[in-house]
Structure 1
Amino acid sequence: MGISPELGPAHQVELPGGRVNYHETGSGAPVVFVHGLLVNADLWRKVVPGVAAAGHRCLAPDLPFGSHSIPMPDADLTPTGAADLLAAFLERLDLREVTLVANDTGGAITQIMLTRNRTRVGRVVLTDCDAYDEFLPMPFKPLPLLAAVPGVVTLATVAMRLRALQRSPLGFGLVAKRPVAPEIVDSYLRPSRESAAIRADLRRFLRGIHKRYTLAAAERFPTLDLPVLLAWAREDKAFKVSFAERLAADLPRAELRLIDDSYTFIAEDQPELLTELIVEFTRLHAAT
């Protein structure tokens, strides 16, 4: 589970295929934070407190994307299966008029979920994330094929013990402009390094990733009649601003806000600004 007390107490919820940990703090209209590949709820540790203080119930699940603590061997971890898990999370906790805040791979899963079951979602904040034919972006695009090779995932998790590799473009150097705190990196990488069952989940999730899922979701973007904020890093090297502009053009009610001095992990590089944007957006599009 995430190590940061700022996220609130840890809880568990039973979903199709197994249980997930989630962290909750605050009260009011619900905001659910969706992380991506090989990170967990700790990604949002600098954002959740400010959003909760603004009058929101903040929930941050540890989804089975390789940094989770409870194995889910029976879960469908294809992109559509992961999207349905996210929808089930909202349903099991009876969350309504939810604001979804998503990043990186979690943004792709959110897009897929919205085109399958968005009944409990009121508005969406997409920070820099996969979409269209970039699922995954370079240099991570080969990962689904490499994950099919026996031993590769295990070797990679062992190699990522090296701090120099963690700070490289093959680690977090491409997605976080400044070094991520070592204890947070350990929170992200320890589960897959220490648990064969978590590695098995990670392998299944990686092997299912394919651009056909995000392209299929994009075909249904014109039907997504709900407010979408695209909070995008101007300097992102993995997901260029032109990518965000394409999303803004295709999503009927999207607004693009560019953020300076950040890479993909805006929640890491510019948490105060992201917090302000989320709170402003939820107030502007509050349920009536």
Structure 2
Amino acid sequence: MALSASLGPPHEIDLAGGRIRYYENGTGSPVVFVHGLLVNANLWRKMVPDIAAAGYRCLTPDWPLGAHAIPVPDADLTPTGLADMMAEFLARLDLEDVTLVANDTGGAIAQIMLSRGTARVGRVVLASVDCYERFLPPPFNVLPPLARMPGSIRPLTELLRIRALHPLPIALGWVAKHQVPYEIVDSYLLPSRNSAAIRGDLRRFLKTAHREYTLDAATRFAKIDVPVLLAWAREDKLFPRRLAERLAAELPNAALQWIDDSYTASPEDQPELLTRMILEFTRSHEQPH
């Protein structure tokens, strides 16, 4: 399924674990986006055009988190493996002074990568993300034990065919406050529904998604000296405000801003506000050339 044209043309890149697709729009300093579980680059479709128009090179990969189009059966899809994949993506494209923008599960992967080194990253935006004990957060923390049961993922993807279930907390109900268009939801859910190989990738990630990774990354927060913007949904049901405040206290160079009328998926619920926050933050922390 083709993703939104607003992301720019698709490209593919071979990394150590396999090939991933990414989209590129604009020129200038790079902004790399990291989506969460069971979504893809379409999450950023409302934001990329304005950020690109402001003079930035927007790169939006489809990370192998269950809504990707190209299977990566040989990839290490543990959280640390994905963090290394993210670092390799930046290195292979020779990106420097990157603004890294992460949401939801993608924020956990970003924290793990940054805790292992901040080379190539100039600043970071964490928009309502998994952290500390909440990786994965309730009610999604039922998925890792479920994934350890053979054949468990397909019934789950088939169940999500039923649109009436989407408002439930275990589906989209606690992720997006406002209804996501059906065609966008389809772009998120069809890859795992239609492909056994994609389901295999999803299962391999879920089997290892455990708070030990985020808690370990947090022990090295003192080493993350790049500026961090915590753009947090005030009404977030998955990641309570206390988590944002804890991150703000423990990351050495962090600022916290609240997003109203949104749940975790602020790129869906409040794309204009999040875009404005990102641009203001990036401009205020630009490196002198």
TM-score (normalised: structure 2)? 0.98
Tell me the secondary structure at the aligned position of residue 91 of structure 1.
helix
Question: Structure 2 unaligned runs (5+)?
Answer: none
Partner of 2:127 in structure 1?
Answer: 127
Over 3 Å counting, the alpha-carbon distance change for 1:177 and 1:24 in structure 2 is same
In the other structure, the counterpart of 2:20 is 20
1:260-271 alignment, distance < 5 Å: 260-271=260-271
Once residues 176 and 118 of structure 1 are traced to their aligned partners in structure 2, the CA distance between those partners, rounded to angstroms, is 30
Shift of 1:2: 5.3
Q: Equivalents in 1 of 2:34, 2:66: separation in Å?
A: 14
CA deviations over 1:151-201 (Å, ceiling 9, x no partner): 210100011111011222111111100111000000000000000000000
Q: Could you tell me which residue of structure 1 aligns to residue 98 of structure 2?
A: 98
Q: Which residue of 1 aligns with 2:232?
A: 232
The answer to whether structure 1 residue 258 and structure 2 residue 280 are counterparts is no
Q: CA offsets per residue over residues 121-155 of structure 1, 9 Å max, x none?
A: 00000000100111000001121110011221010
Q: Distance in 2 between matches of 1:221 and 1:117?
A: 11
1:184 equivalenced with 2:158 (yes/no) = no
C-alpha contact 1:2 1:42 (8 A) present in aligned 2 = no
TM-score, normalised relative to structure 1: 0.99
In structure 2, what is the Cα distance between the partners aligned to 1:200 and 1:25? Answer: 31
Asked if 2 retains the 8 angstrom alpha-carbon contact of 1:168 and 1:174, the reply is yes
Please list the CA deviations of residues 83-118 of structure 1 after superposition, one character each: whole Å capped at 9, or x if unmatched: 000001101111100000000000000000001132
Partner in structure 1 of residue 168 of structure 2: 168
CA distance in 1, matches of 2:124, 2:117: 14
Secondary structure of the residue aligned to 1:43 is helix
> What's the secondary structure of 1:141's corresponding residue?
helix
Match of 1:276 in 2: 276
Q: What residue is the counterpart of 1:117 in the other structure?
A: 117
Residues of 2 paired with 1:117 and 1:75: CA distance? 21
Contact 1:2 1:62 in 2 (8 A): no
Write the distance in 1 (CA, Å) between the matches of 2:22 and 2:166: 25
Structure 1 residue matching 2:31: 3-state secondary structure: strand
Q: CA separation in 2, counterparts of 1:17 and 1:252?
A: 33
Find the residue that maps to 2:140 and give its secondary structure: coil
The match for 2:42 is 42
Query: Percent same amino acid among aligned pairs?
Result: 64
Q: 1:2 to 1:279 in 2, by over 3 A?
A: farther
1:157 aligns with 2:157: yes
Counterpart for residue 287 of structure 2: 287
CA distance in 1, matches of 2:202, 2:219: 28
* Mapped partners of 1:230, 1:163: distance in 2: 32
CA deviations over 1:30-71 (Å, ceiling 9, x no partner): 000000100000000011111111100000000000000000
Partners of 1:192 and 1:285 in 2: CA distance: 39
CA contact under 8 A between 1:20 and 1:61: conserved in structure 2?
yes
Distance in 1 between residues matched to 2:135 and 2:185, nearest whole Å? 23
Partners of 2:241 and 2:56 lie apart in 1 by 29
Distance 1:116 1:183 in 2: 37
- Report if aligned partners of 1:2, 1:41 keep a CA contact under 8 Å in 2: no
The count of residues paired between Structure 1 and Structure 2 equals 288
Tell me the distance in 1 between the aligned counterparts of 2:38 and 2:166: 12
Which secondary structure does the structure 1 equivalent of 2:75 belong to?
coil
CA contact (8 A) 2:46 2:267 kept: yes
Residue type of the alignment partner of 1:92: R
Q: Which residue of 1 aligns with 2:53?
A: 53
1:9 matched to 2:9: yes
Instruction: For 2:252 and 2:71, locate their aligned partners in 1 and report how far apart those are by CA, in whole Å.
Output: 38
Cα separation, 1, equivalents of 2:142 and 2:271: 30
What is the CA–CA distance in structure 1 between the aligned matches of 2:173 and 2:184, rounded to whole Å?
14
Distance 1:2 1:25 in 2: 16
| In structure 2, distance between residues paired with 1:254 and 1:98 | 17
